[in-house]
Amino acid sequence: LLQPFAHLRAMRRSSQSGSQGTIRFRTTFHNTIYDVYRARGWRETDSDTDWDVAWVDTGWIRENFDNMHLEEHQRINHFRNHYELTRKDCMNKNLKRMQRTLQREDRHDEAKKYDFFPNTYVLPVDYGLFVEEFKHHQAGAIWIMKPIAKAQGKGIFLFNKLSQINEWKKDHRWKPDNPQAETYVVQRYLENPLLIGGKKFDLRIYALVTSFMPLIVYLYRSGFARFSSFRYNTNQKNLGDNYVHLTNVAVQKTGPGYDAGAGCKWPLRSLKLYLIGKFGVQATDRLFFEIQELVINSLLAVQKIMIHDKHCFEMYGYDILIDENLKPWIIEVNSSPSLTADTPQDYELKFGLLDDLYTVIDVENKLGGNVEECVGGYDLIYSNGPVKMDKQSCYTTRLGCFDDRVRQLKKLHKAHAKRSAAAATAH
């Protein structure tokens, strides 16, 4: 699987001459991230403290980070309180608070932009409020319940009657004052998703935050759409069929007739071209720009409460649903998006995603500390303010556009070599 990237490794070896020693890495994963480290010629260490870069799970951060002193050069892949955006209840709380703050400050146009998340309640705390809301909706309206801290579709179920909640309460020995009860979020289910071939899908988009103070955000051009295996419907008898309603790969690959070779993903660029063919360039570009705005606004909602640390960065995996009116909705944000590839195409995407990430982070100081507007497949979309596209472009965002990352990296390193040579001559 590493063979397709032999040209990148060769290019990297030629540019590594003269670098200060070998980078040491520490990771709790043995998947694509491990391959990227090895392809870069970096050396593995099992030390919990003596490393240059670390890619660890959130549990490791929780157990170790507060007791560590990081050296100036060390970089690690999570912020201390990453969960403010990636835990479902915290995300909902922070988005609602940002919306209310903007309304109080009479910044109503900005507040209106926070309409990308469905009505949400946290149970058991908000159970009374939820029941009142439930009663105001027409009979048969569908709701979805999700455990706040689980991933891959685990524990999710749909319902349209309060009696179905009562069954859940019994199953979980639930009591309003029981602190041991597992916390869930309950939301209005988005019943009108855009369908392709009669099937539901959502998008996985990747955003890289290198700093929260100031906020610096890169968006990766490539991503993918994840499809359900069966045609979408909201019939009462199918509310419990996760193969119809959930697009998580972990769910779909357990379904009958799943083709492991083909998978259930479609490249983001292919989806964009399909949408352009069906809805036109202008409507599709507006949709993808709104997705980019959604990413930025969600990060602005947590910026002031994040514990900023210059040693940290975060690669978020955004799950986004598009409805039949071409409106994007945030489903959830993942702090540890899957890096395990299930097809060669998936591997190529994730290898490039992670390899370009470390070119942005620049632990080898090859870019001289510059904040570049384009690094491989990453485009800078926010640097203490929105980054505007070139006026000559016919698009307002590069999300989903052609990603010639290898050519761009060669161009980037060539430009930096020229700057370095000019600086050396000046001295």
- Residues 246-266: tens digit of each pLDDT: 777 666 665 666 666 566 889
The whole model's pTM is what? Answer: 0.89
Write b or e for each residue in 192-226: b if 16 or more Cβ atoms lie within 10 A of its Cβ, otherwise e.
ebbebeebbbbbbbbbbbbbbeebbbbbbbbbbbb
In angstroms, the CA 332 to CA 317 distance is: 8
Average pLDDT of the chain? 86
User: In a 3-state reduction of DSSP, which class is residue 353?
Assistant: helix
User: In a 3-state reduction of DSSP, which class is residue 316?
Assistant: strand
Length of the chain in residues, anyone?
427
Q: What pLDDT score does 154 carry?
A: 74
Instruction: Give the relative orientation of helices 32-39 and 6-16 as an angle to the nearest 10 degrees.
Output: 40
Please state the rounded mean pLDDT for residues 28-36: 94
Residues near 337 by Cβ (< 8 Å), separated by ≥ 6?
Answer: 204, 206, 315, 316, 317
Indicate the pLDDT class of residue 11, thresholds 50, 70 and 90.
very low
224 pLDDT more than 50: yes
Write b or e for each residue in 338-358: b if 16 or more Cβ atoms lie within 10 A of its Cβ, otherwise e.
bbebeeeebbbbbbbbbbbbb
Helices (H) and strands (E) in the chain, counts: 14, 17
152 pLDDT more than 70: no
Percent of the chain at pLDDT > 90 equals 55
CB pairs under 8 A, 24+ apart, for 8-12? 8/39, 8/355, 8/406, 8/409, 9/39, 9/40, 9/41, 11/406, 11/409, 11/410, 11/413, 12/39, 12/40, 12/41
Alpha-carbon separation of residue 15 from 10, 34, 72, 411, 415 (angstroms): 9, 21, 24, 13, 13
Nearest C-alpha neighbor of 232 from the set 297, 323, 140: 323
Instruction: Answer for the pair 265, 253: CB distance below 8 angstroms, yes or no.
Output: no
Q: Which residues pair with 323 in a beta bridge?
A: 193
Query: Any idea what DSSP says for residue 24?
Result: E
Q: What pLDDT score does 170 carry?
A: 62
In the numeric block, the tokens 């070779």 are attached to 261
DSSP 94-111: HHHHHHHHHHHTT-HHHH
Range of weakest confidence among 6-15, 112-121, 151-160, 375-384:
6-15
- The sign of the CA dihedral 417, 410, 318, 192 is positive
In angstroms, the CA 197 to CA 376 distance is: 33
Q: What pLDDT score does 421 carry?
A: 77
Cβ neighbours of 179 (radius 10 Å)? 7
Alpha-carbon separation of residue 186 from 90, 139, 209, 327 (angstroms): 13, 17, 28, 21
In tens, the pLDDT along 262-281 reads 668 899 999 999 999 999 99
232 pLDDT more than 90: no
In angstroms, the CA 207 to CA 378 distance is: 9
Query: Any idea what DSSP says for residue 141?
Result: -
User: In a 3-state reduction of DSSP, which class is residue 354?
Assistant: helix
In angstroms, the CA 326 to CA 212 distance is: 30
Nearest C-alpha neighbor of 359 from the set 397, 421, 419, 405: 405
In tens, the pLDDT along 159-170 reads 988 888 776 666
Instruction: Answer for the pair 16, 363: CB distance below 8 angstroms, yes or no.
Output: no
Backbone angles phi, psi at 410, to 5 degrees: -60, -45
10 pLDDT more than 80: no
